[in-house]
Structure 1
Amino acid sequence: MEFLNDMALFVEVVKAKSFRGAADIIGMPNSTLSRRISALEKMIGLRLLHRTTRKIRLTEAGQIYYERCKRIVDEAKLAHEQLGEMLAQPSGILRASLPVDFAVTYMTPLIAEFARLYPSIVFDFDLTSRRIDLMSEPFDVAIRIGELENSQLIARPLAVLPVYLYASSRYLERSGEPAEPADLAHHECLGLMKTSEWTLHDGVHTTKVSIGSRFTLNSVRMICRLAALDMGIIMMLEKIVADDLASGRLRRVLPQWHGTPVPVYAVTETRLLPAKTQHFIKFLQEHLSKV
């Protein structure tokens, strides 16, 4: 059954993207590690890695084999953990990918509370708008906002958050206050990326309105800042603009209408999760919608 150990070594080589890096992590001579992987390839009868002097690259067969091996290795590690004390007192490094503005506004107070509850967990957070690849990058969980594309990943719902329209009083004085959704076609509507349409609901009716803007951008914070500087109307999660609402820099527009509520998910590569990740997701499920 030595090939099971070699599978684990293969996974470490792919993660480290080099034999030398994996050898340093494992504590094994580089030559021994290379020999073990070569023996694994010989046993399988297929080349798994393209080797150069500085890095390695997966072959097509290697990519398929890696995805299967990684799951087997992760489940083996989890089996050891579940037999120990970690379920009673989660510990270790929790690596999570978080969307920047949402994490800062919604998640920071929850993370602080969670950290107080579990002092043995160390946090490694990557705040980015990039959708990381959970199959190949070393993250335990990714928090994602909005509807998800179909994939082999496991998505657990955390919350569904309301969305409303906002603008500054000065902008509305200058451009006029919309009385109905159709009026938005004549306004500067600041949307993320190349949004050309908003869907609005009043509890009975649903309508779609075409929107336009001089700005194309991918920053929630900048959109909110532009709205507070009298540059147009935004459709945003309420918590994101809470400070601007409290200060009077922004106010609700078309208050009887709201956008489509936004789902929030915790996405993982497998259903079998270590205790630290299980507790983190459960905590967010219980508290995120109350923030």
Structure 2
Amino acid sequence: MEMFAEVAARGSFSLAAAALGLPRSTLSRRLAGLERSVGLSLLSRSTRKLALTEAGQLYLKRCRRILAEARLVHEELQDGNAPFEGLLRVNLPAGFATEALAGAFVDFTRHHPGMRLQLNLANPEHAGRVFDAADLTLCVGEPPVSSRVAHHLGFVSGGLYAAEAYLAARGEPAHPSDLREQDCIGFRLRADGLAARWPLACGDERVEVRPASRFSVNEAGMARRLAALGAGVAALGGDQEPYVRAGMLRRILPQWRVAPLPVHALTETRLLPARVRALAGHLARRLD
């Protein structure tokens, strides 16, 4: 059952065999035995593509829940005071929230030195897509409609930043409406390639600006680097103070912030292993 779930998640016998530490031939033989035992074909095999049959989709849905419960029981039988160990796979969007979460991941591994984190970054336009081969999938914004369980963790926010050289050449905006006359570095969150709007808040006042983007990117580090090189104004999440102290960036319109965006953790079931609960709880405390 676990082997079948791994093949379905990876979409490849070779990748699944490597993840399980088995020869590909052994994995293929055991799954063929599983299909004989249920009397149905669960996988549609071709030279180009591996896909689940209708029966395979139903079997996967049920066996995931069984495997999650089995892992939970296994952990409950172990010493509850034992340190967490092993690998956790986390999928998250490579956009606005990435840097806001980086420190939380570092702190988690410091508190749990036996844990390893595999962070899989996806393009922001795919942020709502559920990735099967993960213990936790993070979603910024409203969670997608799916069979997965969404656990609200908190919110991420940010501010507007630019380089001193850019501000000296173009002038500093006094209000978000002035951003229409500035070069901005937009986040490409949409499949049509258009940069996302910037929802800005100052007390009770709310403004949504479509930045005039000379550059549009889908990764926070690139947005920061472009801003530091004087390419324009960037909306950045997380702690940018080190770059401000280094003279690379200056926060503009400091009374305004990028309106908070919700962050959710998507899981297959509400029954989560203790180490997954520990990571989700740690992220929630950092985002509170």
SS at match of 2:159: strand
- How big is each residue's C-alpha offset from its partner over 1:205-262, in whole Å with a ceiling of 9 and x where there is no partner? 22233321222221221211221222211222251x3222112332222233222113
1:140 to partner: Cα distance: 0.8
Q: Is the 8 A contact 2:3 2:27 kept in 1?
A: no
1:51-70 alignment runs, 5 A limit: 51-52=45-46, 56-70=50-64
Give 1:281's aligned residue: 280
Aligned-pair CA distance for 1:52: 4.7
Q: Which residue of 2 aligns with 1:84?
A: 78
Higher mean C-alpha deviation, range 127-136 or range 195-204: 127-136
Distance 1:204 1:30 in 2: 60
1:9–1:37 CA contact under 8 A, matched in 2: no
1:117 corresponds to: 111
Match for residue 126 of structure 1? 120
Task: Tell me how far apart the structure 2 counterparts of residues 132 and 204 of structure 1 sit (CA, whole Å).
Answer: 29
| 1:59 Cα deviation after fit | 1.1
Pair 1:233 & 2:233 matched? yes
Aligned to 1:181: 176
* Counterpart Cα distance in 2 of 1:132 and 1:205: 29
Classify the secondary structure of the residue corresponding to 1:70: helix
**Cα deviation, residue 190, structure 1:** 1.4
Work out which of the two has the higher radius of gyration on C-alpha atoms and give 1 or 2: 1
Match of 1:250 in 2: 249
2:154 paired with 1:159 = yes
Q: CA deviation at 1:142?
A: 2.3
Q: Distance in 2 between matches of 1:72 and 1:89?
A: 25
SS at 1:230 equivalent:
coil
- C-alpha contact (below 8 Å) 2:185/2:234 kept by paired residues: yes
Contact 1:23–1:33 under 8 Å retained in 2: no
Q: Kindly tell me: are residues 285 and 161 of structure 1, through their superposed partners in 2, closer, same or farther at Cα, counting changes over 3 Å?
A: same
Kindly provide the CA deviation profile for residues 114-139 of structure 1, in whole angstroms up to 9, marking residues without a partner as x. Answer: 334334434333344464965632x1
Cα pair distance change 1:59/1:195, threshold 3 Å: same
Q: Per the alignment, in what secondary structure is the counterpart of residue 187 of structure 2?
A: coil
Q: Which TM-score applies when normalising by structure 1?
A: 0.78
Q: Which residue of 2 aligns with 1:3?
A: none
Which residue of structure 1 aligns with residue 136 of structure 2? 141
Distance 1:237 1:24, change over 3 A: closer
Structure 2 distance, partners of 1:63, 1:185, is 49
Distance, in Å, in 1 between the alignment partners of 2:139 and 2:77 is 31
Asked whether the 8 Å contact 2:97–2:140 carries over to 1, the reply is no
Match of 2:5 among 4, 11, 14: 11
Instruction: State percent identity of aligned pairs.
Output: 35
Q: Tell me the SS of whatever aligns to 1:270.
A: coil
**1 or 2, which has the higher helix percentage?**
1
The 1-side partners of 2:197 and 2:3 are apart by 50
Residue in 2 that maps onto 1:218: 218
> How far apart are residue 26 of structure 1 and its match?
11
Kindly indicate whether residue 29 of structure 2 is the aligned counterpart of residue 35 of structure 1: no
What RMSD in Å do the two structures reach over aligned CA positions?
3.4
Residues 103 and 127 in structure 1, CA contact (< 8 A), matched pair in contact too: no
Report the Cα distance in structure 2 between the residues aligned to 1:29 and 1:222, rounded to whole angstroms: 41
**Preserved CA contact (<8 Å) 2:13 2:24:** no
Task: Select the structure that is richer in strand.
Answer: 2
For residues 13 and 65 of structure 1, the distance between their equivalents in structure 2, rounded to whole angstroms, comes to: 13
Deviations 1:8-64 (A, max 9, x none): 564355456439947937996854652342230x2xxx5322245797531123223
Return the alpha-carbon distance in structure 1 between the equivalents of residues 257 and 206 of structure 2: 10
- Aligned-pair CA distance for 1:185: 1.4
Deviation at 1:191, TM superposition (A): 0.9
Residue identity opposite 2:204 in structure 1: V
User: Separation in 1 of the partners of 2:22 and 2:233?
Assistant: 54
Q: Residues 15, 153 of structure 1: CA spacing in aligned structure 2 closer, same or farther, 3 A cutoff?
A: closer
Look up the match of 2:202: 202
Q: For the residues of structure 1 that align with 2:196 and 2:108, how far apart are their CA atoms? A: 39
Structure 1: where are the runs of 5+ without partners?
Answer: 1-6
